[in-house]
Chain A
């Protein structure tokens, strides 16, 4: 793959060349990556540009209340007469950044602690890993609910809670990778060559440890979206009138006979979680030498 990229850069001045090479690169990817990627891309673009789309104001009265889907309101209106389609699409503005921030922070914190634990070993390792054990001993939703309830409801507090819940997964993953890679010969050679710890860890070990973390992180995006929605559903995440998917589903749940209120956000969560799952699955297949 590296070769392909480098070649593309070398002679990719002409447009047809670039397009052809991108297409051949895409063709080489598993279909699940393409499918998942397309969904994720759709929601990403939505999150970035939805303010400029010709939609109803997601917070304002857009028509008669509790109207089923129609030509004017493709996904109907909610109990305050707001357009459900507009609210669903605007929901991406909250879900996508939350997922990104939580996964990024989880990866950074978890990977750093995991790498230190794996590389240093001994008491430091034991201390970090016990902390991990304690954190994962609680069901994630329960721990996140407890933390958010303590900090008070709100998207920011929900994100903090989710980061606290999420980092241990990456710490474990990274530690296992580091433990394996640090026994390799090139690392021993580097040690023999007198390289410092930071250099060994940063240049000789970590670059070989990222693939599983990245794959895991991709799949986790969906899970974070789901957890954020769950927190909002129980009233601990987004506060009204924010069009967050979880809280929209909560609104829908109490108006059971107006099924369309929960349908939009439900589909949004479904597609996004599936998209990330497909993407993560496909990437794992793609990077796993055994499956190729």
Chain B
């Protein structure tokens, strides 16, 4: 969620529009439309703290968006159940040029949008160009695209300005969903170079979906409810569940109580402590490893630092955090350590050992850096509970740990919007936030966390004030990784992981396990690298 809402451009939706839409959808719900009378397929209620910022694939950027978009918009390619391999979706196959600068997709002639019209190359071209030109959260992935051509109705050719072996993988992200171009264009959509200001389809897309996915949007009421109905015209395998009702439920306790009282079927934001307190035999709790990451960041270039955060001090701080105890305290131990920002299982990960807790070593480094007496750092962080981690709890533990090396933290929990303003403004000496991948591939991590010109965290860590933060090897290695594939590419990512780990600017704390709490008999709940929860996989006994 964070990174997505963080990265959104200056685009803002007028409040009036949301209010009008909320009223309209509420009225529609009251008017008593029979939502699931059409068949006997079960309807499931999902309790979730929804972070939806939009329902338009080109503008949305959030965890709930991943679930919604992947259910309503099929993409060219999908990630297989193994979470690593790419499998065909709208494209039956694709060929990549030897230099990784051109990809040719062949579309499945059977693919149909929800209204029955065929999915054609022009829709793909239009959707990808719109994604690029609207300049929303995920459009960065289209930065290197020179052209998208549709030589015939079943062929799409994408040309890139430089090699990018991650490109096809990135198209498995839900934001790269293909829209029915004629339908959306009728409602204000366009894919022109000025689409960021001239496309007006977002409002219509809040009440309608226009994809070729297994589900269609039936109603959306912001901060209240999101209803998805099975797409009866779906061209692929029909999903088992007839309707999903996502109900806005803020915290873990409320979510688990909704299930315990029989008013909900699946809860998605229950932390391990609360999950452990559920005693109802009708409710099952399953825990699976995720690719999500909770991390601390030290910003050596933040303004008004009381003491320089040089490499030695950063290393000392990294060693002074008692990670295992922290994971026990926040997640009852239900999480994995990470050696670098790359998630376990992604290309290049697993080669770097996670930083070990070493208090004496940390003290020695502080002394070497001439800072044995310590200093006080402002630690501004978003006051959230993300992936089961209560940030206030985590930061109080970090505060206790760092006090042992005389680094005092002045904890300042703030609203997310305030945090974003602070981090993008003067910077924050020590902060904590979170990240989830958009697709299976390591390039997105280097492009987001790497210390090189143009990345989000290079800028936030103060690269402009302190250009020495930049590592000249990072862009070179990334280019090499993107120009190769398979093991060779993984080798470069592994080197990049070592560099990022050694910098001690991004300090990964934990990759929290995903906790699914569900009514007995519901199966198929899995965590997907691209799509969070894949609705069409869910079945009910």
Is A121's CB within 8 Å of the partner chain B? no
What are the interface flags for B403-425 relative to A under an 8 Å C-beta threshold, 1 for contact and 0 otherwise?
00000000111110000000000
Establish whether residues B413 and A235, one from each chain, have CB atoms under 8 Å apart when the complex forms. yes
A153, B382: Cα distance in complex, Å: 12
Which residues of chain A are near B253, meaning CB under 8 Å?
253-254, 256-257
Establish whether residues B329 and A79, one from each chain, have CB atoms under 8 Å apart when the complex forms. yes
Establish whether residues A235 and B383, one from each chain, have CB atoms under 8 Å apart when the complex forms. yes
Establish whether residues A239 and B329, one from each chain, have CB atoms under 8 Å apart when the complex forms. no
Is A241's CB within 8 Å of the partner chain B? yes
Establish whether residues A240 and B390, one from each chain, have CB atoms under 8 Å apart when the complex forms. no
A253, B270: Cα distance in complex, Å: 14
Is A80's CB within 8 Å of the partner chain B? yes
Establish whether residues B413 and A80, one from each chain, have CB atoms under 8 Å apart when the complex forms. no
Nearest Cβ on chain A to B340's Cβ, whole angstroms: 28
Which residues of chain B are near A65, meaning CB under 8 Å?
329
Given contacts A79-B390, A241-B396, whether A255 and B413 have CB atoms under 8 Å apart is: no
Give A83-106 interface residues, CB cut-off 8 Å to B: none
A254, B383: Cα distance in complex, Å: 13
Establish whether residues B413 and A240, one from each chain, have CB atoms under 8 Å apart when the complex forms. yes
Given contacts A79-B329, A241-B396, whether A66 and B414 have CB atoms under 8 Å apart is: no
A105, B414: Cα distance in complex, Å: 28
A-B contact count (CB 8 A): 54
Q: Which of B252, B390, B399, B412 contacts A241 (CB 8 A)?
A: B399
Establish whether residues A60 and B400, one from each chain, have CB atoms under 8 Å apart when the complex forms. yes
Is A61's CB within 8 Å of the partner chain B? yes
Q: Which of A66, A152, A240 contacts B396 (CB 8 A)?
A: A240
Establish whether residues B329 and A254, one from each chain, have CB atoms under 8 Å apart when the complex forms. no
Residue of A nearest to B278 (CB): A257
A81, B393: Cα distance in complex, Å: 11
By secondary structure, the A interface counts as loop
Establish whether residues B274 and A80, one from each chain, have CB atoms under 8 Å apart when the complex forms. no
A80, B411: Cα distance in complex, Å: 16
Establish whether residues A66 and B395, one from each chain, have CB atoms under 8 Å apart when the complex forms. no
Which residues of chain B are near A59, meaning CB under 8 Å?
400
A91, B395: Cα distance in complex, Å: 20
Chain B contact-residue range equals: 20 to 34
Establish whether residues A239 and B413, one from each chain, have CB atoms under 8 Å apart when the complex forms. yes
Which residues of chain B are near A61, meaning CB under 8 Å?
400
Which residues of chain A are near B274, meaning CB under 8 Å?
255-257
Is B31's CB within 8 Å of the partner chain A? no
A31, B367: Cα distance in complex, Å: 63
Which residues of chain B are near A240, meaning CB under 8 Å?
392, 395-396, 399, 411, 413
Establish whether residues A241 and B411, one from each chain, have CB atoms under 8 Å apart when the complex forms. yes
Which residues of chain A are near B162, meaning CB under 8 Å?
none
Establish whether residues B385 and A153, one from each chain, have CB atoms under 8 Å apart when the complex forms. no
Establish whether residues A153 and B400, one from each chain, have CB atoms under 8 Å apart when the complex forms. no
Give A131-174 interface residues, CB cut-off 8 Å to B: 149, 152-153
Residue of A nearest to B254 (CB): A256
A235, B392: Cα distance in complex, Å: 10
A197, B156: Cα distance in complex, Å: 90
Nearest Cβ on chain A to B261's Cβ, whole angstroms: 14
Nearest Cβ on chain A to B432's Cβ, whole angstroms: 13
Given contacts A240-B392, A241-B411, whether A254 and B399 have CB atoms under 8 Å apart is: no
Establish whether residues B412 and A80, one from each chain, have CB atoms under 8 Å apart when the complex forms. no
Nearest Cβ on chain B to A177's Cβ, whole angstroms: 42
Nearest Cβ on chain A to B401's Cβ, whole angstroms: 11
Nearest Cβ on chain A to B300's Cβ, whole angstroms: 24
Nearest Cβ on chain A to B309's Cβ, whole angstroms: 22
Given contacts A153-B412, A153-B413, A254-B385, whether A80 and B252 have CB atoms under 8 Å apart is: no
Is B251's CB within 8 Å of the partner chain A? yes
Q: Which of B385, B412, B415 contacts A239 (CB 8 A)?
A: B412
Nearest Cβ on chain A to B77's Cβ, whole angstroms: 39
Most buried by A among B273, B385, B412: B273
Give A248-270 interface residues, CB cut-off 8 Å to B: 251, 253-257
Is B8's CB within 8 Å of the partner chain A? no
Residue of B nearest to A255 (CB): B273
Establish whether residues A254 and B277, one from each chain, have CB atoms under 8 Å apart when the complex forms. no
Establish whether residues A79 and B393, one from each chain, have CB atoms under 8 Å apart when the complex forms. yes
A66, B272: Cα distance in complex, Å: 13
Establish whether residues A153 and B414, one from each chain, have CB atoms under 8 Å apart when the complex forms. yes
Which residues of chain B are near A251, meaning CB under 8 Å?
392-393
Which residues of chain B are near A241, meaning CB under 8 Å?
396, 399, 411
Nearest Cβ on chain B to A168's Cβ, whole angstroms: 28
Is B337's CB within 8 Å of the partner chain A? no
Which residues of chain A are near B159, meaning CB under 8 Å?
none
Nearest Cβ on chain A to B324's Cβ, whole angstroms: 14
Is B3's CB within 8 Å of the partner chain A? no
Residue of B nearest to A257 (CB): B277
A153, B273: Cα distance in complex, Å: 28
What are the interface flags for A234-245 relative to B under an 8 Å C-beta threshold, 1 for contact and 0 otherwise?
010001110000
A151, B396: Cα distance in complex, Å: 23
Establish whether residues B329 and A80, one from each chain, have CB atoms under 8 Å apart when the complex forms. yes
Nearest Cβ on chain B to A152's Cβ, whole angstroms: 8
Establish whether residues B383 and A80, one from each chain, have CB atoms under 8 Å apart when the complex forms. no
What are the interface flags for B267-296 relative to A under an 8 Å C-beta threshold, 1 for contact and 0 otherwise?
000000110010000000000000000000
Is B397's CB within 8 Å of the partner chain A? yes
A79, B332: Cα distance in complex, Å: 10
Which residues of chain A are near B252, meaning CB under 8 Å?
254
Which residues of chain A are near B251, meaning CB under 8 Å?
253-254
Residue of B nearest to A61 (CB): B400
Establish whether residues B400 and A66, one from each chain, have CB atoms under 8 Å apart when the complex forms. no
Which residues of chain B are near A149, meaning CB under 8 Å?
415
Establish whether residues A66 and B392, one from each chain, have CB atoms under 8 Å apart when the complex forms. no
Most buried by A among B252, B277, B383, B393: B393
Give B229-277 interface residues, CB cut-off 8 Å to A: 251-253, 273-274, 277
Residue of B nearest to A250 (CB): B392
Give A27-70 interface residues, CB cut-off 8 Å to B: 59-61, 65-66
A153, B415: Cα distance in complex, Å: 10
A240, B411: Cα distance in complex, Å: 6
Nearest Cβ on chain B to A237's Cβ, whole angstroms: 11
Q: Which of A80, A152, A239, A257 contacts B393 (CB 8 A)?
A: A80
Which residues of chain A are near B385, meaning CB under 8 Å?
254
A236, B251: Cα distance in complex, Å: 19
Which residues of chain B are near A60, meaning CB under 8 Å?
400
In the complex, the 9 A-B pairs of residues with the closest C-beta atoms, listed nearest first: A257-B277, A256-B253, A241-B396, A240-B396, A240-B411, A240-B392, A235-B383, A79-B393, A239-B411
> What would be 21 A-B contacts, judged by CB atoms less than 8 Å apart?
A79-B329, A79-B393, A80-B329, A80-B393, A80-B396, A80-B400, A152-B414, A153-B412, A235-B383, A235-B413, A235-B415, A239-B411, A239-B413, A254-B251, A254-B253, A254-B390, A255-B273, A255-B274, A257-B253, A257-B274, A257-B277
Interface residues of chain B, those whose CB is within 8 Å of chain A, are 251-253, 273-274, 277, 329, 383, 385, 390, 392-393, 395-397, 399-400, 411-415
Interface residues of chain A, those whose CB is within 8 Å of chain B, are 59-61, 65-66, 79-81, 149, 152-153, 235, 239-241, 251, 253-257
Can you name 19 extra interface pairs (CB under 8 A) apart from A152-B412, A240-B413, A256-B274? Answer: A59-B400, A60-B400, A65-B329, A79-B329, A80-B393, A80-B400, A152-B414, A153-B413, A235-B413, A240-B392, A240-B396, A251-B392, A251-B393, A253-B251, A254-B253, A254-B390, A256-B277, A257-B253, A257-B277
